[in-house]
């Protein structure tokens, strides 16, 4: 009797262990399916110096990646020297990949407005010229509509007293900038902070937006 009972106990334990493994495998597959369903989206923002835009958006929960680069122009594989000189039509910009289940496109646009001077058609802060002008490069009609609605909310004369000149454009080819430009704020933090302060970026944003001003600290 004891031997039969022992065999039965061992058999039941084996079945229980097998069932546990199957449940764990099912749970793992279900989690993998959930992660697959969470699709990342992209937007390209031009807000003057791409070091600063990258730094600001690296701090936003839900942003998976930021890449500094050039877009909006007509020259293939442009270099920093070419873009800075002018004539290529490119703007310094940052390609932002984000998880819309954590941060919405509308929220990113809201933060973008409050980190730049959208009334300046000649550049941003101390950086002048076409390559430093602002723009929102959208990936879909849905993004365009959302961005246009957000821009329209700034048209009230009481907001700025000046028109918002930042265009909403469909995204074109994006060319990543040279390696030394990527994550510059973490590679050269002292030089980056000196540049940002001396350029007057945060001072102007605070003067323009007051308590709504937003920027990475």
Query: Which active-site residues does the annotation give?
Result: 49
Per the CB < 8 A criterion, the answer to whether 113 and 147 are in contact is no
Give me Rg for the CA atoms of the chain.
25
Task: Give the integer Cα–Cα distance in Å for 67 and 70.
Answer: 10
> What are the CA-CA distances from residue 10 to residues 1, 21, 22, 106 (Å)?
14, 17, 19, 59
Task: Give the integer Cα–Cα distance in Å for 22 and 119.
Answer: 60
> What are the CA-CA distances from residue 124 to residues 85, 143, 200 (Å)?
16, 24, 10
Task: Give the integer Cα–Cα distance in Å for 26 and 13.
Answer: 20
């Amino acid at each position: 009797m004891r031997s039969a009972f022992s065999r039965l106990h061992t058999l039941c334990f084996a079945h229980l262990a097998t069932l546990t493994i199957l449940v764990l495998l099912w749970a793992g597959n279900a989690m993998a399916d959930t992660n697959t369903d969470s699709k990342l989206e992209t937007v390209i923002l031009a807000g003057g110096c791409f070091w600063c835009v990258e730094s600001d958006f690296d701090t936003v929960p839900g942003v998976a990646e930021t890449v500094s680069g050039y877009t909006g122009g007509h020259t293939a594989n442009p270099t920093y020297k070419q873009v800075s000189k002018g004539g290529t039509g490119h703007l310094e910009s940052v390609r932002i990949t984000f998880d819309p289940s954590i941060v919405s496109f509308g929220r990113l646009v809201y933060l973008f407005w409050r980190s730049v001077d959208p009334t300046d058609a000649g550049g941003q802060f101390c950086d002048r010229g076409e390559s430093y002008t602002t723009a929102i490069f959208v990936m879909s009609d849905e993004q365009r509509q959302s961005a246009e609605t957000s821009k329209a909310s700034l048209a009230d004369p009481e907001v700025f007293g000046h028109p918002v000149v930042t265009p909403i454009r469909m995204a074109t080819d994006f060319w990543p900038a040279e390696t030394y430009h990527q994550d510059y704020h973490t590679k050269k933090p002292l030089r980056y902070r000196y540049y940002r302060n001396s350029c007057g970026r945060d001072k102007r944003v605070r003067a323009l937006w007051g308590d709504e001003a937003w920027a990475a600290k």
